């Protein structure tokens, strides 16, 4: 597993939870940015790591699938969790529609240390969004 003190150099360094001809599902570790941007130049991003796993764009064709390299949703840099990547435009559009229509169930678990006033206590909270 990758920790925030190390940077991944290839998609093989990421924990792959599921893969078929349409999808790549990874366990994104904290400390890695998901999307390329002007502020991430020189940083390894999930987008750059998975670029060879998604369908190559047709020459001269630029669309959201190719711009995002199949990444359907994002997780913040310091957030770890499951990240879904579409390998082709059809899967990308289908998954985006499911997220937009709120058909995807998301669960979040947060861990805090020292919160809640008094002592060094840890607490864990789970939230589910449907």
In terms of residue numbers, what domain contains 77? Answer: 11-103
Where does the chain show beta strands of DSSP type E?
16-19, 23-28, 81-86, 106-113, 122-129
The answer to whether position 78 is within a domain reads yes
* pLDDT reported for residue 103: 92
Residue 80 CB contacts under 8 Å (≥ 6 apart), including other chains = 27, 28, 29, 30
Q: How many domains does the chain have?
A: 1
* pLDDT reported for residue 6: 41
* pLDDT reported for residue 90: 92
* pLDDT reported for residue 5: 34
Alpha-carbon distance of 106 to 59, in angstroms, equals: 36
Residue 41 has which token pair?
Answer: 């130049």
* pLDDT reported for residue 64: 80
Please tell me the pTM assigned to this model: 0.73
**What are the catalytic residues?**
76
The answer to whether position 1 is within a domain reads no
The domain that holds 16 is classified in CATH as 3.30.2350.10
The CA dihedral of 44, 15, 26, 49, to the nearest 10 degrees, is 30
The answer to whether position 55 is within a domain reads yes
* pLDDT reported for residue 51: 82
* pLDDT reported for residue 106: 85
* pLDDT reported for residue 122: 60
Give 10-residue mean pLDDT values along the chain (130 residues): 44 85 93 86 85 72 76 90 92 92 86 62 62
Tell me how far the alpha carbon of residue 65 is from its chain's centroid. Answer: 15
The answer to whether position 26 is within a domain reads yes
Alpha-carbon distance of 63 to 69, in angstroms, equals: 10
* pLDDT reported for residue 95: 93
The answer to whether position 22 is within a domain reads yes
């Amino acid at each position: 597993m990758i920790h925030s003190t190390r940077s991944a150099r290839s998609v093989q360094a990421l924990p792959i939870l599921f893969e078929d001809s349409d999808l790549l599902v990874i366990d994104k570790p904290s400390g890695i940015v998901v999307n390329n941007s002007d502020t991430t130049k020189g940083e390894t991003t999930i987008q750059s790591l998975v670029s060879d796993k998604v369908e190559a764009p047709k020459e001269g064709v630029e669309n959201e699938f190719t711009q995002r390299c199949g990444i359907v949703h994002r997780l913040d840099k310091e957030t770890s969790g499951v990240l879904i990547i579409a390998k082709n435009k059809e899967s990308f559009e289908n998954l985006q529609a499911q997220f937009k229509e709120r058909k995807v169930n998301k669960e979040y678990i947060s861990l805090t240390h020292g919160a809640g006033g008094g002592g060094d206590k840890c607490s864990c909270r789970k939230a589910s969004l449907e």
